[in-house]
Amino acid sequence: MWRYIIVSIGSGILFGIMDGTINVNPLAQRLNQAYAPILKKSINPIAGIGIDLAYGFIMAAVFVLLYQSLPGQTGIVKGLSFGVTIWFFRVVMSAASTWVMFTVPANTILYNLVADLGEMLALGILYGLTLRPG
């Protein structure tokens, strides 16, 4: 139980750091100009931290629940397959919806697909190396 709590908090913090890095760097700022008219003028850091921590707990729990059914014989392979699965359901489906509903440059969508794949793989590797059911 303690391992799950520590890994969940760590992954929530890692989630926040990676989200910040992915979204605030100069390339992302330039690519995300399409969203400028609807961006908030300020952010709520407490809410952002809380959301990322909640994601950490939820994703760690889903990993543990799915562990036995994930492809692979080792934790790291299971973590990578989990990362790809989460990337598909979280990122690819959102990118497809964005492409259909909004006028956003293809470069922006591609950047988010690639950057978020790295994020989900990093989290999957963390889970695969540290978490097991039971």
What DSSP designation does 70 have?
A: S
pTM of the predicted protein model: 0.88
Q: Is the pLDDT of residue 79 over 80?
A: yes
Q: Is the pLDDT of residue 2 over 80?
A: yes
Q: Where are the alpha helices (DSSP H) in the chain?
A: 2-24, 26-31, 45-66, 75-87, 93-101, 106-130
pLDDT at 114: 96
pLDDT digits (tens, 9 = 90+) for 80-134: 999 999 999 999 999 999 999 999 999 999 999 999 999 999 999 999 999 998 7
The domain containing residue 67 runs over which residues? Answer: 2-130
pLDDT at 56: 94
**What's the structural domain count of the chain?**
1
Dist. CA 10–CA 7, nearest whole Å = 5
What DSSP designation does 74 have?
A: S
Provide the CB-side half-sphere exposure for 102 (13 A, CA): 16
pLDDT digits (tens, 9 = 90+) for 31-73: 999 888 888 888 888 998 999 999 999 999 999 999 999 999 9
State both tokens at 91: 């990122």
Instruction: Mention every residue, 6+ apart, whose C-beta is less than 8 A from residue 72.
Output: 78, 80, 81
